[in-house]
Structure 1
């Protein structure tokens, strides 16, 4: 092989590797593809004149990786929102709550401008904060927060993330409805086949697509809702939780009130133990006491 051909081969090889590396570092390809949705037919303000935005896609998957005690599960969420007017700019600010037994990672977000330009969120613009800084009792409640870049009316906002949940008991719900119209809302649960899924849907008629598996394998449940009308708040209405179309899944590993008591006891037990400062204070206050 001649020197010229050898040089060309090296250029092509390292050029290809460079493209692969850049694609990996970028983390999110520039192509737009949302399964089950027509990109060319996304709604406009004329389709929803009273809406500030439209939730094009809101989907999540909860993957339960263990049995009844559930020491680990992974929750992945993906949202696509189109801003219709200036009121919808509030969607540019995202808050992802989590607690000390959870971990949020793989956050990706991008803004698709009306002219088609795509601007990705940089990792340095994602912040970890206390969710309730003024309440010391909730110091373990934290959040990942970020703001979409280059947002304007007509922009499409897309983000996704993964949350690893280490709680001993799985307890989850999924909300189909929002303040603005929702074109497609989908929740997928993947769980051990031996786990009996006990669920209830409130506010709408949604039946899951179920794929049962033999014991030792994993079953899949998918709840899908399309064209969900926005929730209209009214004066004096019941709490939103009682009015919103949602899915509730019963916690695993809880068959009796004793199980509930154990779960709650595990939550409060660390706070009920007296630390050194409390012990010293009690000793000082009761020093010299002749009775208990």
Structure 2
């Protein structure tokens, strides 16, 4: 019996020693996690007091877009916010979109949850879900990657994520929203372009904002941004929020230039005309149907109305692959298959 008690006492002593020597959650997190410096700095930021209905505050919101001479774009994004209320827990989701038909891909996606006690939970490839962006399209190459941390998040936590994406956009343009429905301490966009290129930006729903230019780097930043409050029957947040539209490109584009300038609506019109005009050509079947539809029409307007009614009744089906997001399908194809999207139908009526 004494032997058993002695053994039990020894176990208790060993357990107590283990507890005493074990690192605290805060120390364990500091020693073993790989939380990046930008997130550590954001987590330490001091935010003012907010109303009780403010669910979260953004403590870091930044993207750096690097443009190659071939038009390919690499974007590194960091984003983090502090959860202020239980309603803010549902925001602990990282989302990043990409278009496979334009060569888009997500090179890296990671997330971290820093709890109020300093402990850290990391998220990576195993916690990432890849899904379609828009389920309304019959076929679409736009996709999303998502990390959901809502089951782990709690009031007082900091949730942050970092993504690196690569794509080749159809247009040399970028947009950046500074504001959202929660306040933000800092929001910054940096664009790095090749030598000899330039970037120009226009700010909407806010005073003029000139970029800080360092060599080929352009940076726009706003700080201490209020939230866009929800009101009954109000416009969308994106209609009211301060945002930036950036256009970039070489000083002068040529037929051999990978990126074309769109300096005016005439440039846009010329580009789209060259894209859509070859798709208009009718065949005998279309011409015969047009004569049939307008045979009883007495005026030009009645002819237009007859053709418009016919096209409106075609099945609406959207199939957008690659440049097909902008270029309509051939009129002969749309007529033969009896379906198409907005631009397909408009093209058929020409």
Bin for the TM-score computed over the shorter chain: 0.7 to 0.9
Task: Select the residue among 240, 243, 252 that pairs with 2:240.
Answer: 243
Larger radius of gyration: 2
- Equivalents in 1 of 2:106, 2:205: separation in Å? 30
- Equivalents in 1 of 2:95, 2:126: separation in Å? 16
Instruction: Tell me which residue corresponds to 1:215.
Output: none
- Equivalents in 2 of 1:228, 1:37: separation in Å? 19
Instruction: Tell me which residue corresponds to 2:212.
Output: 209
- Equivalents in 1 of 2:148, 2:199: separation in Å? 36
TM-score (norm 1): 0.72
TM-score (norm 2): 0.61
Q: CA deviation at 1:94?
A: 2.8
2:132 touches 2:144 (CA, 8 Å); kept in 1?
yes
Instruction: Tell me which residue corresponds to 2:47.
Output: 43
Instruction: Tell me which residue corresponds to 2:55.
Output: 52
Instruction: Tell me which residue corresponds to 1:76.
Output: 76
- Equivalents in 2 of 1:194, 1:60: separation in Å? 22
1:63 touches 1:74 (CA, 8 Å); kept in 2?
yes
Instruction: Tell me which residue corresponds to 1:167.
Output: 169
1:168-208 per-residue CA deviation (whole Å, 9 max, x = no partner) reads: 42221111111111001111010124223221112233331
2:204 touches 2:243 (CA, 8 Å); kept in 1?
yes
Q: RMSD in angstroms over aligned alpha carbons? A: 2.9
1:204-241 per-residue CA deviation (whole Å, 9 max, x = no partner) reads: 333311123xxxxxx11111111101011333434433
Greater relative contact order: 1 or 2 (C-alpha under 8 angstroms, separation 6 or more)? 1
Instruction: Tell me which residue corresponds to 1:195.
Output: 197
1:99-157 per-residue CA deviation (whole Å, 9 max, x = no partner) reads: 121111210101111111111113122111111123215x1221112202621111110
- Equivalents in 1 of 2:267, 2:98: separation in Å? 24
Alignment of structure 1 residues 149-168 onto 2, 5 Å: 150-168=152-170
Instruction: Tell me which residue corresponds to 1:142.
Output: 143
| Partner SS for 1:34 | helix
Q: 1:36 to 1:222 in 2, by over 3 A?
A: farther
Mark the runs of 5 or more structure 2 residues left unpaired by the alignment: 1-31, 250-260, 276-322, 338-350
| Partner SS for 1:87 | helix
Q: Which one has the bigger helix percentage?
A: 2
1:47-98 per-residue CA deviation (whole Å, 9 max, x = no partner) reads: 45331001000000010111xxx53011110001110111111211233222
Q: CA deviation at 1:35?
A: 8.2
Instruction: Tell me which residue corresponds to 1:17.
Output: none
1:97 touches 1:141 (CA, 8 Å); kept in 2?
yes
